[in-house]
Structure 1
């Protein structure tokens, strides 16, 4: 046997076993790659689950915050509703009080208007149309449901105030004086509520209202000039000055 024969035999054995060794190695490599791919996929799924968990945790925390905010809001609403109920109860008590007040005040206001009408009828007959219109407006106002009780009362007091002011003023105006021969245009002069005079436009006739007889009476000629000056003063056409005007009282008339 040749000395190189053993080496040739070993080489042949190695070459013959190479395909047998390659097959398990390839399988091991494939398995390793498969396991690596599965591990990578598992890691990706774990990462997705972790992100989803974070999102769910954030949503849960937001839900908790919203729930706390809603609880606070509901608590505030309950307090607000309770306060509104108390306020409504107070309004109801006020309305009940207003109804009772209205029941008591309405007849009183009606009586005040009646007394005002009686006073105007018994007073000096000055500005009859203006005063009658004011009284008629009050009489129409009382039954109206669209006007508050306070407004009605204010209007009545306003009318009383106007009538009261007449007693402290001097006023002159031109108007019609009724008579048997027909109405005449004259100048009227009101001295507070004490006296009411008239004078014809030509100044030839003067008179005064007699509250006792409820009629006009003539004045003598001495009263014409001071009465003419008093009318000018009332119209602010002349500076105020001291005048002597005829004044009669009910007691003086009754004594005659």
Structure 2
């Protein structure tokens, strides 16, 4: 009986506990309904924060790229400033050169008027020199002077080219004074025209020898005429001719030299 008496009390306690649990559960459910909007709002805020952070990261990356571009452009601009400064100096120099060139062009006509009479005097002087010089290669040298005269009348040759040719003719005449030369030609001996070999030793001696080496003679500058040489010079003249023709090594020659006052 005592145990049966205790059972209702136990049942009451269990029932009370279940009621308490149910009440607590119901209370939690009610609180959950009230907290759900807050939780949802917090979730939205977190999602928005994530999106904002992504935007910030993207903007940061863009700023970094723009900064690198700015640095590169700034460096390129600095290089262009230096390059432009150098170009400005070159342009200034070119402008000065153009000014100098224009001034020189303006002076060309003046120079041409001055240099043409000079060349004419030089050609006349060269002609006189050839006529008074030792009479070697007379036709060749006379033709050179005549060609210069004809050249001066031509309008298709620039003054600079004319001057070059005049100076070239003077250079040829200068070279004659320090060279040894042999050439063939015709020479009148005792009223008879003979084939001879001429030997020119600078402007010091001009000698001829017949092909059979039987006769030889030299130009006497003082007398202004040809004079026969004794047969004792035959060997030396022959030797000199061979040396001039590169058939014999250079050696000492014993040749007559006319003395001039």
Deviations 1:209-231 (A, max 9, x none): 799xx9x8886xxx543564663
Gaps of 5+ in 1: 250-256
The separation in 2 between residues aligned to 1:75 and 1:131, in whole angstroms, is 59
Whether contact under 8 Å (1:134, 1:159) holds in the other structure is no
- Report the equivalent of 2:231: 225
Secondary structure class of the residue paired with 1:177: strand
- Report the equivalent of 1:81: 91
Of 29, 39, 48, the residue aligned with 2:49 is: 39
- CA displacement at 1:87 relative to structure 2: 3.1
- Report the equivalent of 2:73: 63
- Report the equivalent of 1:52: 62
Of 142, 146, 158, the residue aligned with 1:145 is: 158
- Report the equivalent of 1:254: none
- Report the equivalent of 1:29: 39
State the aligned residue count.
239
Gaps of 5+ in 2: 1-7
Residue range with higher mean Cα deviation, 127-136 or 44-53: 127-136
Cα RMSD over matched residues?
4.7
The separation in 1 between residues aligned to 2:231 and 2:78, in whole angstroms, is 94
Deviations 1:121-177 (A, max 9, x none): 5655432343245435545665533964663353132134146x28xx887654223
Q: In the alignment, does 2:172 pair up with 1:159?
A: yes
Whether contact under 8 Å (1:176, 1:183) holds in the other structure is yes
Structure 1 pair 138/227, CA: closer, same or farther in 2 (3 Å)?
farther
Whether contact under 8 Å (2:197, 2:210) holds in the other structure is yes
Max Rg structure = 2
- CA displacement at 1:84 relative to structure 2: 2.4
TM-score by length of 2: 0.63
Which runs of structure 2 are paired with 1:1-256 in the superposition (5 Å)?
4=12, 7=16, 10=20, 13-97=23-107, 99-121=109-131, 125-135=135-145, 138-139=148-149, 143=154, 144-145=157-158, 148=161, 151-162=164-175, 165=177, 173-177=183-187, 183-188=193-198, 200-201=210-211, 223-226=229-232, 228=234, 231-232=237-238, 234-235=240-241, 240-241=253-254
The separation in 2 between residues aligned to 1:43 and 1:34, in whole angstroms, is 14
Whether contact under 8 Å (1:197, 1:209) holds in the other structure is yes
Structure 1 pair 180/44, CA: closer, same or farther in 2 (3 Å)?
same
Secondary structure class of the residue paired with 1:159: helix
TM-score by length of 1: 0.64
Secondary structure class of the residue paired with 2:158: coil
Whether contact under 8 Å (1:174, 1:186) holds in the other structure is yes
